[in-house]
Structure 1
Amino acid sequence: MVLKRKIAYIDLSRRKVRVRDVPVEMRRLYLGGRGLDMYLLYNHVEKGVDPLSPENVLLVSAGLLVGVPCLGGSRAHIGGKSPLTGIVGSSNMGGFFAPELRLAGFDHLVIKGRAEKPTYLWIHDGEVEFMDASH
């Protein structure tokens, strides 16, 4: 059985979330993590978009090997259009974030827009909620 992978398209401006399955063909071509993030960046950001504008996206992904008992198997990837260079900005990290993201039901987050007030995302049980972060 092929595991289902999910992408959450999160729009902070509209406070809306769309969840889609990652097609198997796309997973075969781009694998996951950084590869799929670059595909998503290319297809969801218009040419010439200011990196600091709400039209830019922030991509957060669990790596390909998350959940596999191996060294380096719990990596997360963060990507987007860099304000420093105007081209791809890419980083990754280890730790518990990527396994927790996958356990919460998602492999990829595509975040765009700008919230009206301080907001954090509560991601759990296959859901994404917008929570007030102002104190």
Structure 2
Amino acid sequence: MARKNKPLPPVEWLLPRVRLSRLLSLAGFVALVALLSVWYLLIVDLHGARPWVILGVQLLPLALLAPGLLLGNARAHAWTCYVVNLYFIQGVVTAFEPGRLVFGLLEVGTSLLLFVGALLYTRWKFQLDRRLAGES
């Protein structure tokens, strides 16, 4: 039995949603980078470890995705949905450590913001591209 394709939403409906979800994903990205930077450079005691090294390791996955996110590449946003789960898991684990509840919850919140924004942007951007290519 053949499956019927759902009709795509109109361009007028998709355009504001694409813009909003892109803003959400960029806000989540910047917030997560800022949160990690402030935490590792200014707040946490690393017991002699070099904060720049720890921060570099923490930011490496985000740095790999940054060019695609900043250019609005839908595939980079899709990959971000996978990568940001690492920060979500780290935030949940950190929230259970004594004295780190606030940082853990902030990391969970910013990673969720980035995940939701990137997920919605990926969906709506691909729908918009298909609609603009003439598919109905």
The structure having more radius of gyration, on CA atoms, is 2
The higher relative CO (CA closer than 8 Å, separation ≥ 6) is in 2
Same fold per TM (> 0.5)?
A: no
Larger proportion of helix: 2
TM-score, with length taken from structure 2: 0.27
